[in-house]
Amino acid sequence: MDMKSGLEELHRRRQKALRMGGKAKIDRQYKRGHLTARERIDKLLDPGTFLEMGILNQSDISGMEDETPADGNIAGFGRIDNRTVAVCAADRTVLAGAEGRVGTFNKERRITKIALEKGYPIINLGDGGGARMPDIMGSDGLSSMTFPVEGLRYPRKVPFIATIMGDCFGGPSWMAAKADFVVMVKGTCMAVSGPRVLEIAIGEKVTPEELGGWELHAEVTGQVDAFAEDDEHCLRIVREFLSYMPSHCDEEPPYVPTNDRPNRKLDEVMDILPDDPNRSYDMHKIIKSIVDDGKHFPLKPYYDPSLITCLARMNGRTVGIIANQPLFFAGAGGAGACEKAASFIVLCDSFNIPLIFLHDTPGFFVGKEAERRKMPGKIIVWMEALALSTVPKISIVVRKSYGMAYSNMAGTNCGADFLVAWPTADISFMMPQTGVNVVYHPVIQAAKDPQAERERLVKQWEYQSAPWRAAAKHLLDDVIDPRDTRGFIITSLDILRSNGRGFMSKKCLQAWPTVL
């Protein structure tokens, strides 16, 4: 073929691929309220930076070549905030986004390999129903499309982000399950198999929303970190998450300058924290008062909301915050809180993000239901993650911190580099009113005035639980004025970073499972 004919053929093939599944299927995608795969990539990446790989791909199944432009997977490299990323986007207009051997198992593996070697974050934009039947049928078909185990041998080398942007079954769900961060568009579904397959295979009739809708993953499974109103919102969330993350595990997250003064006084916390120790308040307000410009990025906000896990910045540097939330169950954590904390510690430690703990918890949930959720094991998994983490850790007891929860929140001898309390701290194995009933029940019953004796013992317990005794024995590093908290954290982080290693961890948690 001469050069002119070759260029004409190249142009024809590229134009055909750019038309994706054709106008009718593109219009159907719009009618669903979604962007096309190419539009998603354009909105995700910095303008004009996308370098597509495999635009000329097509199915290797005879007779399907013309139906499979780019083999249904738009993939390549681009930049977000001027940092290189790898991106793969399922094309719903091509065979409903089902995965083909060429587009997914050849192209995607190749791009993932390059990203891991070069240290580029990987973003998977999911929107499809798993492997194509013609590709996966037969012993040779299934054998050629097994899950790529090599992708699991090098966990957390680079941030891996997955999105659920349509009804996703099979492959996109596996990608989400192994991702470091997952965003789901409301109104979509994430599950192993779709409703039609379930009805035929096991006779179960269920709607996509019941099977794997956003509320299920927000409140019950905890498998999704953030939720979007639509495609554009989803892509903005991805960009924002990446702004807190390094490109790879051998560097720190990017520094973001701020005009927020390091030693700014937190006068507002005096009004946020109630004088009555039994009154609830919103810990998000405390967090916003501490961090740069009042801005933080919650992960899994609806999953066991008794615990907050979020990213933020302190004097321009990314930090991870684990905080009890008194608005929900008084800050008492259950199995979900344990899973949430452990996975967040793993994420932060793997990507060199210091951890800040803010205590206000009456302890963990107890009782029959808690035991059925394997609470002892869940608590210890959190503790194991904490013990193996090697990023800097700063722990602050804001108000109550009782029992084993004190340890899990990086209390005394539990891994904090600096551990301090506010004057409002209440540290004990149990809240005073309950503890007095448990420990002193015979004494109270034998007293001439049981009610007066009980009140006396409660006041004694409260005095002993205040932070002064622990501080006197250097079981706490200090008791600080709450208004100085921002300055204390930033000064502490500066000290912990000035050892020549920065915030780099030893990566002891890098190979932990994504789903705990």
What does the pLDDT look like over 261-299, one tens digit per residue? 999 999 999 999 999 888 999 999 999 999 999 999 999
pTM of model > 0.85: yes
| Model pLDDT, residue 516 | 55
Question: Which superfamily is assigned to 269-425+466-497 in CATH?
Answer: 2-enoyl-CoA Hydratase; Chain A, domain 1 (3.90.226.10)
| Model pLDDT, residue 143 | 78
Mean pLDDT for 444-457 is 75
Secondary structure, 3-state, 191-231: ECCCHHHHHHHHCCCCCHHHHHCHHHHHHHHCCCCEEECCH
Closest CA to 202 of 192, 214, 213: 192
| Model pLDDT, residue 515 | 61
| Model pLDDT, residue 37 | 97
Between 436 and 73, residue with greater pLDDT: 73
Tens digits of residue pLDDT in 364-417: 988 888 888 899 999 999 999 999 999 999 999 999 999 999 999 999 999 999
User: One fold for both 16-243 and 269-425+466-497?
Assistant: yes
SS3 label, residue 426: strand
Query: What value does the mean pLDDT of the chain take?
Result: 92
Q: Which residue has the tokens 């499974």?
A: 221
How far apart are the C-alpha atoms of 138 and 511, rounded to whole Å?
Answer: 34
Tens digits of residue pLDDT in 223-266: 999 999 999 999 999 999 999 999 999 999 999 999 999 999 99
Mean pLDDT for 432-450 is 74
| Model pLDDT, residue 105 | 82
From the CA atom positions of the chain, what is the Rg in Å? Answer: 26
Domain boundaries, the chain: 16-243, 269-425+466-497, 430-465
Contacts of 377 (CB under 8 A, 6+ apart): none
> What's the chain's length in residues?
516
Question: Which superfamily is assigned to 16-243 in CATH?
Answer: 2-enoyl-CoA Hydratase; Chain A, domain 1 (3.90.226.10)
Q: Which residue has the tokens 């250097």?
A: 474
How far apart are the C-alpha atoms of 273 and 398, rounded to whole Å?
Answer: 9
> For residue 438, is pLDDT > 70?
yes
